[in-house]
Amino acid sequence: MSKTISGFSKLSKTEKIDWLTSTYFSNPEQAKYVLEQYANNDQKLQQLHDEFIENTISNYYLPFGVAPNFDINGKTYAIPMAIEESSVVAAASKAAKFWQSRGGFKATVLSTEKIGQVHFMFQGDKDRLQVFFEQIKPKLIDATKALTKNMEQRGGGILDIELRDKTEAIANYFQLHATFETLDAMGANFINSCLEQFAKTLKEEAEHYEAFSTEERQLQIIMSILSNYVPQCIVRAEVSCKVEELSDNKTIAAEDFAEKFIQAVRIAEVEPYRAVTHNKGIMNGVDAVVLATGNDFRAVEAGVHAYAARTGSYSSLSHAKVEHGVFTFWMDLPLALGTVGGLTKLHPLVKVALEMLGNPSAKELMQIVAVAGLAQNFAALRSLTTTGIQEGHMKMHLMNMLNQYEATSEEKSKLIEYFKTHVVSNASVEEAVAGLRR
């Protein structure tokens, strides 16, 4: 039986599901049941989700959790997080509580510039190209007026356009490298529309530029697209307290903890294998809030990791020090986020998430997201350098394991109680479940 189909997108949803389940599943009815189970009974809501993308056949749920008690710049937030990993929300909440009694988090937006590029090929005299560019620069900007009017009224728009010579990397390769201020919008559509207009103007003007040779007039546009690398769109998140305040009087003396913690950060600063995992922990917090607030987590991920490698060696995003008896832990993060446009007015849960945060500006959201990342990193390093990560992680994972064994509510409460004083592992859970059922 052929597994290829043409015109799939034109089929109705039921037809799509019928074809898929009969082609790829040993038990089509079972697959259909699950797809149907995840579809929403509210037709309007389902249609909204169907229309976000093409070929929707069901919904994919992630838990929508909340980490309360986050004090950021003197304001208290309950932070919404969309994530499947068991221990993330618990760790964030714990870190929030820890820092709430030690002055809270501080966050500052250091810059908000976004970048886009028109990549093109030009075979000819570089100086003539530069003169041409200077002459047409006002036209490049003028031709986007219809696109930039609203953004300019709000105080944003195109900041600058530069001509960049990239011929050392690729023969005849040049760029228009443009910078933008997109205020509360992530700005992808705005930037890409402006870039495509720049490209059009550039091509048209080159075709009629008298000083160009015939070859030079055939300037070739390759592509126009924003960059998800935003090293000039940076937010700083930090916490600090006196070293002696670091102790929770349980596991480790404050000075020893500060020392081990700083060593752990230093290791991530110099050792890429560790840095990737260290930064993954930061992204546990960052992505969960980015996703809950309807932002593009792939863009954030790509940009953040490029930033972490900006010196040529992949390194820790966060840093820590003790100076004059004060422990400081901080991180600068490149974040292009929006609180208008995109999914923000469309997805009902995104609206709830944003309202929970007090309908923040994009700048405020940058601060919240960076703090969630720093809190997550703090919680991970705290566990790693004291009890080890598995204790908390496996406790949180216990529920997943119990669900795998299809434990009843009664079994669950008995086993949760039991594992308060016993080590959680795959084997110990299996044994305890079996013991209870014997």
Residues that bind ligand MEV (CB under 6 A): 85, 277-278, 280-281, 284, 380, 384, 389
* Catalytic-residue membership of 280: yes
Half-sphere exposure of 429 (CA within 13 A, CB side): 21
How far is the CA of 39 from the CAs of 19, 35, 55, in angstroms? 18, 7, 14
Cα–Cα distance for residue pair 77/349, rounded to 1 Å: 17
Torsion of CA 97, 102, 104, 107, to 10 degrees: -130
Of 85, 113, 259, 271, which residue is the catalytic one? Answer: 85
Smallest gap from Cβ 323 to ligand MEV, in A, equals 24
| Gap between the Cα atoms of 27 and 38, Å rounded | 18
Q: Which of 220, 251 has the CB closer to ligand MEV?
A: 251
Say which residues have a Cβ less than 8 Å from residue 165's Cβ, sequence separation at least 6: 126, 174
- Cβ-based nearer residue to ligand MEV, 22 or 390: 390
Catalytic residue at 393? Answer: yes
Residues with Cβ within 8 Å of 135's Cβ and at least 6 positions away in sequence, in order, are: none
Smallest distance from ligand MEV to CB 415, Å: 24
Closest residue to ligand MEV, Cβ-based? 281
Residue 106 burial (10 A CB sphere; 0-12, 13-18, 19+): middle
Do 236 and 143 form a contact (C-beta atoms < 8 A)?
Answer: no
Cβ of residue 100: shortest distance to ligand MEV, in angstroms? 22
Q: What is the DSSP string of 82-94?
A: E---TTHHHHHHH
Q: Which of 376, 378, 379, 371 is nearest to 77 (CA)?
A: 371
CB-count burial class (<10 Å; 0-12, 13-18, 19+) for 371: buried
Place of tokens 């992204």: 283
319 assigned to active site: no
Cα 147 to Cα 162: distance, rounded to the nearest angstrom: 20
Instruction: Tell me the Cα Rg of the chain.
Output: 27
Buried b (16+ CB within 10 A) or exposed e, 230-262: beebbbbbbbbbebeebeeeeebebeebbebbb
Smallest gap from Cβ 389 to ligand MEV, in A, equals 5
SS3 of residue 13 by DSSP: helix
If the CB atoms of residues 85 and 216 are measured against ligand MEV, the closer one turns out to be 85
Give least dist CB 395 to ligand MEV, A.
14
Catalytic residue among 280, 351, 363, 414: 280
What whole-number distance in Å separates Cα of residue 286 and Cα of residue 335?
A: 10
Q: Give the residues across from 178 on adjacent strands.
A: 116, 161
Between 129 and 374, CB nearer to ligand MEV: 374
Task: Between 85 and 269, name the residue whose CB sits nearer to ligand MEV.
Answer: 85
**Phi then psi for 294, rounded to 5 degrees?**
75, 25
Give the nearer residue to ligand MEV in terms of CB position, either 281 or 360: 281
Is the separation of the CB atoms in 131 and 211 below 8 Å? yes
Least separation in angstroms between CB 81 and ligand MEV = 13
Instruction: Point out the catalytic residue in the list 184, 296, 332, 364.
Output: 296
The single-letter code of the amino acid at 347 is H
Which of 32, 278, 347, 393 is flagged as catalytic?
Answer: 393
117 vs 316, which CB is nearer to ligand MEV?
316
What's the closest the beta carbon of residue 297 comes to ligand MEV, in angstroms? 15
**Shortest distance, CB of residue 264 to ligand MEV, whole angstroms?**
8
Name the residue nearer to ligand MEV (CB basis): 258 or 380: 380
Catalytic residue check, 351: no
**Active site positions, annotated:** 85, 280, 296, 393
